Chain A
Amino acid sequence: MVSYIKSNKMKTKCIHKDLIFYLDNELSFDKRTAVEKHLEECADCRSFLAFLQEGMQIIEKEKNTEISPFFYTRLSARLNENPEHQAQSQWARLSQPAFFLLLLFIGIYSGLKLGRNASTTKENNQATSVQMLNDFAAEPIESFLLDEL
């Protein structure tokens, strides 16, 4: 069987790309005849055609799906829902992201505020260290060491 397929492939090129259109009857008469002739000879293309057919049959099965007998009853119940309740739920849906957005802005604002305070503290520290350096200038290290003695 495998050798048959292999020998067929050597003789004729597979026409997989035309088969979906062949299934849907969308090929010209000449092309359709050529495809049919090829299918008689090529087992691989026949097998792929069967695979495609099985796949497309799924759509046919799905088309005949039964609809729930309570479809209108459920729809009618949804229609009777209080419009005020719907408006409320819509408001609740909007309020949640609004709350988080507000929280985010508060976070950013307080972050900026804290950052500004921190930089002011740093500047103060620098000023202190400069003062200390000035202390050294006022009292040279030599005299400091001599005092120790």
Chain B
Amino acid sequence: MDEAQLIKGIQQGDRKSFQILVETYQRMVVNTCLGIVHNKADAEDLAQDVFLEIFRTAENFRGDSKISTWLYRIATNRSLNFVRNNKRKRFFQSIEDTFTGGRNRNSEISENRGDQPDRNITDQQRSDLLHRAIDRLPEKQRAAFTLNKYEELSYQQIAEIMEISLASVESLIHRAKKNLQEQLLDCYKKKCV
């Protein structure tokens, strides 16, 4: 079944076509979300939201671009929104912590660590360090870097997804790498891992 038939099927509400679409692209969508949110459970929830949006708005798809471009675009936007909302929640949480003595936050952190008991501390620290460095990147740099690194997309594909010029993508990824390198160098000098 080619892309056009798949989309036509989904537009008509055909569940079989939708299942084929999900099974073909689920790894790609989850990976994209994971690159931005850094949590498997959140990434899978976001990926489900992406597919639900696809199913409910399929009639709006004009077929100008590939399905993958459409999916990447929705996945990136939803993940960035999720991170933005989380930051806002964390801000209010920090205010709450000042009154409750930070009990809630500490329990949340220990729950997250409990997800991966078999990973050693250094691996976890290294992973946290990289995630923190990626999180500090400006949104556009983060999106471009994630699509390039996690999905190994070409600059041309990223330009289509983000609807910007090729030169802008080159500049965004260059700056993202420079920023990451600066943050990692800072940590290397302070010996945080």
Using a CB–CB distance below 8 Å, which chain A residues touch chain B?
16-17, 19-21, 24, 47-48, 51-52, 54-56, 58-59, 62-63, 65, 67-68, 71-72, 74-76, 78-79
**Considering only CB atoms, which chain B residue lies closest to A75 in the complex?**
B48
Known: A51-B193, A58-B123. 14 other contacts (CB 8 A): A16-B181, A58-B127, A58-B130, A63-B31, A63-B150, A67-B30, A67-B44, A71-B48, A72-B19, A74-B48, A75-B22, A75-B48, A75-B52, A79-B55
A52 to chain B, nearest CB (A): 6
Query: What A residues does B185 contact at CB under 8 A?
Result: 16, 48
Asked if A21 and B30 sit within 8 Å, CB to CB, the answer is no
**Per DSSP, are chain B's interface residues mostly helix, strand or loop, or mixed?**
helix
Q: How far is the CA of A75 from the CA of B25 in the complex (A)?
A: 13
Q: B47-60 interface mask toward A, CB cutoff 8 Å, 1 = contact, 0 = none?
A: 11001100100000
B115 to chain A, nearest CB (A): 12
Given contacts A72-B22, A75-B48, A75-B52, contact A52 B40 (CB under 8 A): no
**Per DSSP, are chain A's interface residues mostly helix, strand or loop, or mixed?**
helix
B63 to chain A, nearest CB (A): 23
How many residues of chain B are within 8 Å of chain A by beta carbon? Answer: 33
5 pairs from A and B in contact (CB 8 Å cutoff): A51-B188, A72-B23, A75-B22, A75-B52, A79-B52
Given contacts A71-B48, A72-B19, A75-B51, contact A17 B178 (CB under 8 A): yes
Asked if A52 and B184 sit within 8 Å, CB to CB, the answer is yes
Of B22, B149, B181, the contact of A52 (CB 8 Å cutoff)? B181
A12 to chain B, nearest CB (A): 17
Question: CB of B126 within 8 A of chain A?
Answer: yes
Asked if A58 and B150 sit within 8 Å, CB to CB, the answer is no
Of A20, A47, A55, A62, the contact of B34 (CB 8 Å cutoff)? A62
